[in-house]
Amino acid sequence: MREARFQVWDPEYNQFALHPKEKNITDLIPLENIRTPTAMFVAKNDILADLEDAEWTREAIGDAVFHF
């Protein structure tokens, strides 16, 4: 969420996390291509992604999300 995009994880990411002005851009994960039924379990106090991020992800995946 720090990069404001849904992207492939980079094992070197922690190096960039120490330098807030630097970006670590990797390949995008095309959420709109997901067709497998997907359940999302979201909580108000999630430390990794807030409700706004979860809603964005749900909308990007579309009809494949069957529980939110």
Per-residue model confidence as pLDDT tens digits over 14-60: 666 666 666 667 888 898 888 999 999 888 888 777 888 889 889 98
CA distance 56 to 2: 14
49 burial level (CB within 10 Å; 0-12, 13-18, 19+): middle
Q: Output the pLDDT for position 19.
A: 65
DSSP 8-state symbol, 4: S
CA distance 17 to 66: 33
Pairing of strands 65-67, 38-39: parallel
Q: Output the pLDDT for position 4.
A: 73
Q: Output the pLDDT for position 16.
A: 63
Query: In this model, does residue 68 exceed pLDDT 80?
Result: no
Q: Output the pLDDT for position 17.
A: 62
